[in-house]
Amino acid sequence: MAYSTLAQIKAWLQGITTTAYDTELTATQTAVSYHIDNALRQYTDLPVQTQLINELADIEAEMVAAQFYQRRQTNRDHGNQMLKEAADRLIKFIDARFKTSIGISNA
């Protein structure tokens, strides 16, 4: 299940507003959604509660944009940094929403 929209992804890709990359972005979004779902599946049933989707949408959009940048030589470092930040945000999201509620702590 995709959490974000192409508009949300393009917001992370400053300057990309055309549909020229939509096919690539949608394919990447599908792969990222699968990755997020696999991470969440360890702690909760899918689909997730509606109130959690907005936060996941932003994390997913950042991950998709990061992978888009990683594929381009001129923006690879920026993409790597974005992907690290998005992955950290996903870990914190899972920790805050699921691990603490079932008594697991990373502290």
Q: pLDDT tens per residue, the chain (107 residues)?
A: 799 999 999 999 988 889 999 999 999 999 999 999 999 999 888 888 888 899 999 999 999 999 999 888 777 888 889 999 999 999 999 999 887 655 554 54
Do 67 and 27 contact (CB within 8 A), yes or no? no
Residue 99's pLDDT is what?
78
79: number of Cβ within 10 Å: 17
Domain boundaries, the chain: 6-101
CA separation for the pair 10, 61 (Å, rounded): 8
Strand ranges (DSSP E) for the chain?
none
Do 82 and 65 contact (CB within 8 A), yes or no? yes
Task: Give the pTM.
Answer: 0.85
64 CB burial (10 A radius; 0-12, 13-18, 19+): buried
CA 79 to chain centre: 13
